[in-house]
């Protein structure tokens, strides 16, 4: 199933550009980056829901609940307001060190952690929804629908089963 949402712009219908598209439950921006979809009743797509679960399984210990940061690591919600998708992927996979006058922050490379890398797009779309203010703090998001077949197959392939 392929769905396309159009953004209304001034001018003719030729000026309209897809804001995001959906294929088998996965939403993409016009630029080809993964994104979230939240319905009017507040339900999230499968991948955003999965990202919530995976973030709280693998990332929140350092980066705090809901991506808000901690005394140990920065808030990812604030970072994703300006960080591009490719940069996010590179930092998670390869790690990075940031030297500041008061401290040095080290993000370990997680490129060999399948519990992170197999779900990196999911984690990204969850944090992006939080950064954009589309997903508020304080509750577990409710998913809309079952896990897409493509997600099931990708998980099996990534996990080596």
Output the pLDDT for position 13: 46
- Residue 39 counted as domain residue: yes
The pLDDT score that the predictor gives to residue 16 is 56
Query: 1-5, 29-33, 99-103, 104-108 — which is least confidently predicted?
Result: 1-5
Question: For residue 43, what pLDDT band results from cuts at 50, 70 and 90?
Answer: very high
CB 5 within 8 A of CB 19: yes
3-class secondary structure, 115: helix
**146 assigned to some structural domain:** no
Domain count, the chain: 1
Q: pLDDT: is 4 or 138 the higher one? A: 138
The band of 15, judged by pLDDT with boundaries at 50, 70 and 90, is low
Give a yes or no: residue 122 inside a domain: yes
- CATH classification of the domain holding 77: 1.10.760.10
Does residue 127 fall inside a structural domain? yes
pTM for the predicted model, two decimal places: 0.86
Residue 51: what pLDDT? 96
Residue 69 CA to residue 62 CA, distance in Å, equals 7
Proportion of the chain above pLDDT 70, given as a percent: 89
Does 139 map to a domain? Answer: no
- Residue 35 CA to residue 134 CA, distance in Å, equals 11
Residue 158 in domain: no
Structure-block tokens of residue 144? 């809309």
pLDDT per residue over 69-123, tens digit each? 988 888 999 999 999 999 999 999 999 998 989 888 899 999 999 999 999 999 9
Report how far residue 71's alpha carbon sits from residue 40's, in angstroms, rounded to the nearest whole number: 35
pLDDT score, position 96: 95
Residue 74 lies in a domain: yes
Residue 156 domain-assigned (yes or no): no
Closest CA to 89 of 52, 51, 116: 116
Domain housing 72: 2-132
Order of strands across the sheet that contains 26-29: 2-7, 17-23, 26-29, 34-35
Assign 143 a pLDDT band (cuts: 50, 70, 90).
Answer: confident
């Amino acid at each position: 199933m392929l769905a396309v949402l159009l953004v209304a712009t001034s001018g003719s219908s030729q000026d309209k550009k897809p804001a995001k598209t959906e294929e088998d439950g996965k939403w993409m921006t016009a630029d080809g980056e993964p994104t979230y979809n939240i319905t009017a009743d507040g339900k999230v797509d499968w991948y955003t829901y999965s990202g919530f679960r995976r973030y709280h399984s693998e990332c929140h210990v350092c980066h705090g609940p809901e991506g808000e940061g901690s005394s140990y690591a920065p808030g990812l919600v604030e970072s994703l307001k300006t960080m591009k998708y490719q940069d996010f992927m590179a930092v998670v996979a390869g790690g990075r060190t940031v030297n500041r006058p008061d401290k040095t922050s080290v993000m370990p490379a997680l490129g060999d952690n399948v519990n992170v890398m197999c779900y990196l797009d999911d984690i990204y779309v969850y944090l992006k929804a939080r950064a954009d203010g589309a997903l508020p703090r304080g509750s577990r998001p409710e998913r809309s629908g079952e896990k897409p077949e493509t997600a099931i197959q990708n998980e099996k392939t990534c996990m080596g089963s």
